[in-house]
Structure 1
Amino acid sequence: MHLLQPQPEVTTSSLVSTHSTHQSALSSNTVQLSPWQSLQTEHEQVDWLILHFNHWFSHQNVTLIRGDFEPEYFPAQNQAPAKIQFAHGFFNSALHEISHWTIAGAKRRLLPDLGYWYAPDGRTLEQQQLFEQVEVKPQAIEWLFSTAFGRKFRVSLDNLTGDGGDGMRFKDHVFAQVHSFFSGETKLPRDAAYFIECICLCTRHGKTLQADEFSRALLD
């Protein structure tokens, strides 16, 4: 998802390092699947993520699905749930698309691709700067998700044939955004906080994320 248009966001939640006020992720009807730690391949991990996400967010009338090509969001219609389609079955793509969905408010979730417009790979410097402006928060949230899963996170400038911009500065901004969530200067979107709580209950025995797990050196 190449995002080049800032949009209103939902930013109401507790801090990352505390439990959210949502119903516990491990309710009596939670899905019974193989423990995360036992999964050996990315395909197995993606299957786990899809099944758990679709359970945890069933009350939101949304499903996470594999896509063969580029990621895309399809709003709910004709009694069918909304679909978050991620690219090529990649786990990291799924986390990235989920991060965008958690930021979007109710109105944007009614729009194809959450109301974003696109500029393809090969963007000019000005276009790339706008891309970076609107990608800082989603990629910071994706970093939180990845860490909750114990996976490596890598920032993406996503402009291989155009002007790549200042990668070091972008990493600085993503790092600063993560710590802004921890400090409370910026509130984490409600659904992002809930998703992190759900993940941590399954992958970290409920241990919440801590600010010292996120160092600038991890982005290099």
Structure 2
Amino acid sequence: MYRSEILEELFRDIFYPRYHTVLEGGAEEPVYLPGEDGTGAPHRIVYSRDYFRSALHEVAHWCVAGRHRRTLEDYGYWYAPDGRDAAQQSLFARVEASPQALEALFCAACGHDFRVSMDNLNGDEAARRLEAAFAEQVYRRARRYLEEGLPARPLAWCQALAVCFNTGWNGGAESLDRVYIFPASVTE
């Protein structure tokens, strides 16, 4: 049911005509590659392997990126690989809160479980302790998106996901609450 190829087709149907952007899997590491002027090559949102959640996450980054950032490889953002210390992880969390909040809403729209990702399996203990606070931050941001109204691109994506996966998503918080899985440290 949750096959990433479905997302690729759906994304193309919804966004290619206006944004000349495609979603494609198969990469070891996700990356955004802007198209080259004059070549006709589309902008490419490349996600990890065939991972459904990776595709949703990368679409979330695209939805957050403004017009200028969508002209830059990986939107011009800083990225430090796995093994970040607490200070680097705190910076990661500031940059990731909005995309992961959108990803949570995308999961809600298609009925797929959502867990935050600290993307730092080999980080130090202080960095790993930030997960519970980050999960709360992402949840609050997702709720704020629902209360204030989603911007056009994420709203269109949520609506398309809801139709495709027949979830009946209506932008209500109850759909977020059904799929959002907090870390054990939050629920204990």
**Could you say which TM-score interval applies, normalised by the shorter chain?**
0.7 to 0.9
- 8 Å contact kept, 1:128–1:165: no
What does the per-residue CA deviation read over 1:85-134, in whole Å, with 9 as the maximum and x for residues that have no partner? 00111000000000000010111100011111221111111110010111
- 8 Å contact kept, 1:175–1:215: no
The answer to whether structure 1 residue 70 and structure 2 residue 32 are counterparts is no
Q: How does 1:85-164 map to 2 (within 5 A)?
A: 85-162=46-123, 163-164=127-128
Report what 1:218 is aligned to: 181
State the distance in 2 between where 1:166 and 1:207 align. 31
Calculate percent identity across the aligned residue pairs.
37
Give the SS at the match of 2:120.
coil
- Are residues 150 and 205 of structure 1, via their aligned partners in 2, closer, same or farther at CA, if it must alter by over 3 Å? closer
- 8 Å contact kept, 1:140–1:178: yes
Q: CA deviation at 1:208?
A: 1.3
Give the SS at the match of 1:215.
helix
The higher relative CO (CA closer than 8 Å, separation ≥ 6) is in: 1
Q: CA deviation at 1:207?
A: 4.2
TM-score (norm 1): 0.75
Residue from 161, 168, 172 that aligns with 2:132? 168
- Count residues with an aligned counterpart: 176
State the distance in 2 between where 1:75 and 1:151 align. 29
Runs of 4+ aligned structure 1 residues displaced above 4 Å come to: none
- Are residues 124 and 50 of structure 1, via their aligned partners in 2, closer, same or farther at CA, if it must alter by over 3 Å? same
State the distance in 2 between where 1:179 and 1:52 align. 25
For structure 1, the 5+ residue unaligned runs are 1-38
What does the per-residue CA deviation read over 1:59-108, in whole Å, with 9 as the maximum and x for residues that have no partner? 21000011231001110112100000001110000000000000101111
State the distance in 1 between where 2:13 and 2:67 align. 20
TM-score (norm 2): 0.87
For structure 2, the 5+ residue unaligned runs are 184-188
Q: CA deviation at 1:57?
A: 0.7
Report what 1:33 is aligned to: none
Give the SS at the match of 1:130.
helix
Q: CA deviation at 1:202?
A: 2.4
